[in-house]
Amino acid sequence: MAAVAPLLATQALSKYFGGLAAVRDVSLEVGQGEIRAIIGPNGAGKTTLVGMICGRHAPSAGTIRYEGRDVTRLRPWERLRLGIAYTFQVTSIFKGLTCYENVALPAQRALMRGLARRLAPGEAEVAARVRAALESVGLAELAGRRADELAYGHQRLLEIAMALATGPRLLILDEPTQGLAEGEIATLCELVRRIARQATVLLIEHNMQVVLALAGRVTVMEAGEILTEGTPAEIERHPEVQRAYLGR
Amino acid sequence: MSAFVLALTALGLSLVFGVMRIVNVAHGEFYMLGAVLAWACAHAVGTPVAGFVAAMLLAPLAVGGLALAADRWVLRRLDYHPESTIVATIGMLYVLQQAVLMLYGPDARPVPPPVYFKVEFPWFGYSGYKLVVAAVSAALLAATWVLIARTRLGLYMRAAQQDLEIAQAYGVPARRVYGFVFAAGAMLAAAAGVLIVPIEQAHYLMGLDPLLLSFIVVIIGGLGSLRGTLVAAFAVGLSDGIVSVFFSPTLAKIVATLLVAAVLVVRPGGLFGEERA
Amino acid sequence: MSTGRKVLALHLAVLAALALLQFALPPYHHTNVARIMVLAGYAIGYNVLLGYTGLMSLGHAMFFAAGMYGAGLPVYYFGVGAPAAFGLGVASGTALALLFGLMALRTSGPSFLIVSMMFGQALFLVTLYFNDVTLGDQGFILSGKLAPLELAGARLAFEAPAVKYNLALAIFAGCLLAALALRVSALGRVLIGIRENEERTRLLGYDSFRYKLLALAVSGTLAAAAGAGYALLFSYVGSTFASILFSIYPLLWTLLGGIGTVLGPLLGTALMFYLVDTVSGITSSYLLFVGAALIALVLWFPLGVLGTLRGRWLPWLP
């Protein structure tokens, strides 16, 4: 098999909160263009792990390599500029602002290079990017509405639009289907498939059907460590996984 | 300002912030009210001792009651939203200060100490009253510790500090706890005022300096850490006293502020604080 | 008319109205409005930090005072001309804001508030401590020491009411337009993002510390411009302008006018100026009124006049 460097590689990554090991010695590789699902029971360390990848938490030990470079010490905004985007498990948007403004903030980032452009990056260009992002998640008509007036499902889509507006190469979705109705979940799966044509997706999920439908590979975590990895079908049959997670 | 009295005052401030997450800018005015009420007691009652005892009992209760009312009618209505409560407490500062000005007047008035004896050390004489201050302060600090660490109310307070929603889910009466904590903070400040007034005089503007000193203490000790507050209070109180003796009090305060700046540069969360840089 | 044009037109109209107002005002109100305009510049500066960025400071008088003393001292002691003095005043404010920001912005909201109050008070004490130089509480007067302004061949004496008014208007216009430009710019968007949800903003690619520092620098600069202007136009420099009360005034003015709106500070300053004027005619305890006003505002009218207007009828108002 050709030795193509993985997009993302963590090496013995650990995070301790006081005496508690939230993540212990996790070495994970995600290849370009993959849709990788991370599953595991509550408290397995999934959110903490991706939190270290996107820069929310500093690791206690270990390294993270992205596109071949060591990003372990980089701050969250520096990682965003390299193309790592994250959506929160509990929706984190700008509730008091319109959908347009919500997406405009990330959209303008890439345009703000150089002093003059920082002040006036060209509102027309920003507007175009915002429109594109909102259209891709299907919220284009709601651009003028305040974010807190949106239904929960739409708020989650808005957050994804915000991440898309940054032009990510690695998109981390933390439980994106949580709280969504059936139809909304299907829409989301479609969206993720479309996104995956241009970006690598790392997906934390509890919904096994979504995992089976979307993921190319699955990483299973338990108690801060990687239990096993494989294709969704393999994972579904894996006895340890069934015990730990599916409760059989 | 006596380190013990500063410890009491700062503890009141720190308690309110620790549990309720609000900064009470009017905290110094509760201290001032304690002092003014102590003067009133001294005037109403015959002997200085009786006046002191009356003040020690009545002033904290009165000021606590006032604080309870303020919590109920203003702070609770603001849902303890951090910025709104700060603005409201600033408003309270001016209302209380000016009310005292109108009723008590602009003069600084002395209050006789309840006991008057000097303890003679070989190298200096020490006012006996200051020992009384230290003893009473220590007793109050100890009582507060017992309240927090050993009673159910203290448990409620600590639970509310950790996580209000979960505490409420377990049946902690959050609103009443908040009201009590705000009142307790005010009572500590008032007690401090009663204790200090025989040494300094009662004046309607006397609340500002203790407020700023308390701020210095809680910043250095770390907002939210009671232990840090106590350690810092003694450190600041003692050094402020020393610097004030050799230099002017004004300079002492400027130096204290620079000290805080130095602490912040190194440890933004204070010495015991919880913040990340 | 597009929103952008509407907004610009509104703000220019306000400036034009203020310019015309000077011909309609009796002398007493003439000086008052000049004062209000300069103080509104101070409030606008404060609003950049609180209204746009969500950072509450209780020590803003230190920037006003930096401008005031930064301009006043060179004139008083060295006879420096007005433009240079103004520049020095503004520069002092910017420098102080950057220095303060580098230290204090590492702390969280409540700590930042407390630290700002302490630094404000420390500067106040410094003005008192160096009494020999600053003449402390009493302050000093610049008239007689300030040479008239040479502008396009004309000699404009600072004592003339028309000069005072129009220079005050110029300072106010500078502050207002700077604040408006910031508000509608990409930078303004980032500041609002920080105000609404700082962590999200960081994860969307922005170093929030840098932007907060920028906001503080702009805020301090505008406040210092107001302070320098006040010293030069009204000829008085004194410690009261460094006191905590003077730090609380812009909060009160901004709250009344509408936090986060561009024109709010002007409205709030004007209203409060006249309200306090009226109340102090009745009683000397007008601070009681100030305190009660703060409580009433935050309980029942937290959006202020323009904030409420914007919410109900004028969503395009910045």
- Interface pTM (ipTM) of the complex? 0.88
Q: Is some CB atom of chain A closer than 8 A to the CB atom of C205? A: yes
Q: Residues of B numbered 181-240 whose beta carbons fall under 8 angstroms of chain C's beta carbons: which are they?
A: 208, 212, 215-216, 218-219, 223
Q: Do B84 and C302 touch (CB under 8 A)?
A: yes
Residue among B42, B91, B86 nearest B193 (CA): B42
Higher-confidence residue of B59 and B167: namely B59
Give the model's pLDDT for residue C77.
86
Residue B65 has pLDDT above 90, yes or no: yes
Q: Which of C285, C291, C296 sits opposite B102 (nearest CB)?
A: C285
Q: Which of C56, C118, C288 sits opposite B99 (nearest CB)?
A: C288
The structure's pTM equals: 0.90
Q: Is some CB atom of chain C closer than 8 A to the CB atom of B138? A: no
Q: Which of C187, C196, C203 sits opposite A119 (nearest CB)?
A: C187
Give the model's pLDDT for residue B275.
45
Given CA atoms C261, B85, C114, B248 in this order, what sign does their dihedral have?
positive
Q: Which of C125, C128, C288 sits opposite B98 (nearest CB)?
A: C288
Chain-centre distance of CA B269, in angstroms? 21
A interface test, pick of C177, C195, C200, C211 with most A CB neighbours within 10 Å: C200
Q: Residues of B numbered 160-189 whose beta carbons fall under 8 angstroms of chain C's beta carbons: which are they?
A: none
Give the model's pLDDT for residue B271.
65
- In tens digits, chain C (318 residues) has pLDDT values of 677 888 899 999 999 999 998 888 888 888 899 999 999 999 999 999 999 999 999 999 999 999 999 999 998 888 888 889 999 999 999 999 999 999 889 887 788 888 899 899 999 999 988 887 878 778 888 777 777 777 666 777 777 888 889 999 999 999 999 999 999 888 999 999 999 999 999 999 999 999 999 999 999 999 999 999 999 999 889 999 999 999 999 999 999 999 989 999 999 999 999 998 888 888 888 899 999 999 999 999 999 999 988 888 888 888
* Chains with at least 3 CB pairs less than 8 angstroms from chain C: A, B
**Mean confidence (pLDDT) of chain B:** 84
Q: Is some CB atom of chain C closer than 8 A to the CB atom of B78? A: yes
Q: Is some CB atom of chain A closer than 8 A to the CB atom of C202? A: yes
Given the DSSP bridges, would you call strands A69-70 and C140-141 parallel, antiparallel or unpaired? unpaired
Round to whole Å and give the CA distance between A184 and A202. 20
Q: How far, in Å, are A210, B216, C37 from residue B87 at the CA level?
A: 49, 20, 24
Q: Is some CB atom of chain A closer than 8 A to the CB atom of C45? A: no
Round to whole Å and give the CA distance between B249 and C129. 10
Three-state DSSP string of chain A: CCCCCCCEEEEEEEEEECCEEEEEEEEEEECCCCEEEEECCCCCCHHHHHHHHHCCCCCCEEEEEECCEECCCCCHHHHHHHCEEEECCCCCCCCCCEHHHHHHHHHHHCCCCCHHHHHCCCHHHHHHHHHHHHHHHCCHHHCCCEHHHCCHHHHHHHHHHHHHCCCCCEEEEECCCCCCCHHHHHHHHHHHHHHCCCCEEEEECCCHHHHHHHCCEEEEEECCEEEEEECHHHHHHCHHHHHHHHCC
What does the block give as tokens for B84? 């709104």
Query: What is the block-wise mean pLDDT of chain A (248 residues), using blocks of 10 residues?
Result: 76 88 91 91 88 91 92 92 91 92 92 64 84 91 90 92 93 91 89 92 90 91 89 86 66
Q: Do C288 and B260 touch (CB under 8 A)?
A: no
Q: Which residues of C12-37 are buried (b: 16+ CB within 10 A; e: fewer)?
A: eebbeebeeebeeeeeeebbbbbbbb
Give the model's pLDDT for residue A43.
82
Helix (H, G, I), strand (E, B) or coil at C151: strand
Q: Is some CB atom of chain A closer than 8 A to the CB atom of C68? A: no
Q: Is some CB atom of chain C closer than 8 A to the CB atom of B77? A: yes
- Count of CB pairs separated by less than 8 Å, B with C: 119
Tell me how close the Cα of C249 comes to any Cα of chain B, in angstroms: 11
Amino acid at C82: A
Q: How far, in Å, are B97, B107, C248, C249, C278 from residue B102 at the CA level?
A: 9, 11, 21, 22, 19
pLDDT digits (tens, 9 = 90+) for B186-215: 999 999 999 998 888 889 999 998 998 898
Residue B105 has pLDDT above 70, yes or no: yes
Report the phi/psi class of residue A12: left, alpha or beta, with left for phi > 0 and alpha for psi in -120 to 50: left
C interface test, pick of B94, B96, B97 with most C CB neighbours within 10 Å: B94
Residue B1 has pLDDT above 60, yes or no: no
Higher-confidence residue of B264 and C204: namely C204
Consecutive H or E run containing C80: none
DSSP state of C241: G
Q: Do C129 and B17 touch (CB under 8 A)?
A: no
Given the DSSP bridges, would you call strands B125-127 and C154-156 parallel, antiparallel or unpaired? unpaired
Higher-confidence residue of B243 and C170: namely C170
**Mean confidence (pLDDT) of chain A:** 88
What does the block give as tokens for B219? 């910043």
Please tell me which residue of chain C has the smallest CA distance to A101: C189
